[in-house]
Amino acid sequence: MSGSGERMPRLLALVPYLLARPGIRIDEAAQDFDVTPRQLRKDLELLWMCGLPGYGPGDLIDLSFEGDTIVVTHDAGMNRPLRLTGSEATALLVALRALAETPGVADGDAVRRATAKIEDAAGQARPAGVVVGGGVREGARAARTRETVAGALQESRALRMRYYTASKDQITERTVDPMRLVIVQAVGYLEAWCRRAEDVRLFRLDRIDGLTVLDEPAAPPAHARRSDLSDGVFSARPDQRVAHLVLDPDARWVAEYYPCEELAELDGGRLRIGMRYSDEPWMVRLVLSLGGEALVESPRELADAVHRRAAAAVARARHLTSTSDR
C-alpha cells in the first residue's frame, strides 16, 4: 500500500530518474524506490495521464515498455530533479545539527547521514536527484547574509549588524544573539535576541547590512522563547490601520517585499492588496515612491495625505523647466 503522501514525491522523481537510466528494468527501479514492481507499474500508468495543459498528443508524458524495461519517450518538461533552494538547504542543516545535539534522539546515526547528504548536495558533489539552487526570492546579498548567519548559529556566535526596518523607514545598529534561521513564505529570517530591544525579534535577511560575526558567544537569556509562526510572521496590532492599494503590474513587487493581508487579482495584471501600517508618513512616502503605479482606495485620510504631499512637491518644483512648462 502506498499513500498519497508517499506517492506524490515518488511520481515527481520518477521521470528524471528514468530519463537518467533509459531501459532500466522495472524490478530494479522498484527496488530503488522501495516499492513493489506492481506498485511501480501503477505509478507508471498514472504518469501516462499527466502532462501539460491541453492534455493532447505531445502534451502528456509518454513511456515505452520493452519486456520488463522502461524508457521515457516524452517527458512533458519534467526532466529535472526536485530542487532545494539554498535557504531550504541551510534551514534543514541547522535543524539537523540541532537535532543531533539533542539528548535522547532515537537514531543519531540517521540524523548524521542525512546531514552529510545535504552538505554534499549543497557543496561540490551534488549527486543526481538532489539539487540545491538559488531561491527566486533570495538575492546574492541575502544569500551571503544567510551563509554568515548559518555559520554564526553553528558556532554559537553573536552578531553585529545594520538593519533596515521597513515599517519605520529606519536603519539601526544592533547586536543580536542568534537563535534560529526560518523560512516563511519563501523569505528567510533570522530569529534572535536583540540586545537593543531586549526582546526576541525576527530580522529579514535581505534587510540586513554590514553583518559582523563577533568573537563572543551568543547568549540569549533563559526566558527567550521562539516565536509561534504558524499564522505567519506578522501579527496585527490594535494601533495599525489597513491601507487598500491597487498596484499596477510594475509595482506588484510591493506585495512580495512587504507583508500583506489581502491579495486580489484584477484585470490588466493589476493587484489589490491590504497592507497594515502604523506610521502614516512612511506609507505616504511608499505610495509616492511608486510614481503613479499605486492607487490608494482607502482610508480616505491616507489618500488625502498622499495628494497633499504630491501637490507640495510639485509646487516646490515649479521653478524647474520640466514642471513650469506643464
Share of the chain above pLDDT 70, in %: 70
pLDDT score of 140 more than 90: no
Q: Alpha-carbon distance 90 to 98, whole Å?
A: 12
**pLDDT at residue 312, rounded to an integer:** 87
Note whether 50 and 118 are same-domain residues: no
User: What cell numbers appear for 8 in the block?
Assistant: 506524490
CATH number at residue 214: 2.30.30
* Residue range(s) defining the domain that contains residue 98: 83-135
201 assigned to some structural domain: yes
Report how far residue 225's alpha carbon sits from residue 192's, in angstroms, rounded to the nearest whole number: 10
- What are the pLDDT digits (tens) for 254-283? 887 777 777 888 888 889 999 888 788 888
Quick check: 100 pLDDT over 60? Answer: yes
Domain count, the chain: 4
Question: Which pLDDT value is given to residue 296?
Answer: 93
Residue 39, pLDDT > 50, answer: yes
Domain end (from 56, 74, 92): 74
Tell me which of 48, 74, 100 is where a domain ends: 74
Contact indicator for 63, 48 with CB cutoff of 8 Å: yes
Q: What is the pTM of this model?
A: 0.44
Residues 247 and 312 in one domain: yes
CATH number of the domain that 309 lies in?
A: 3.30.70
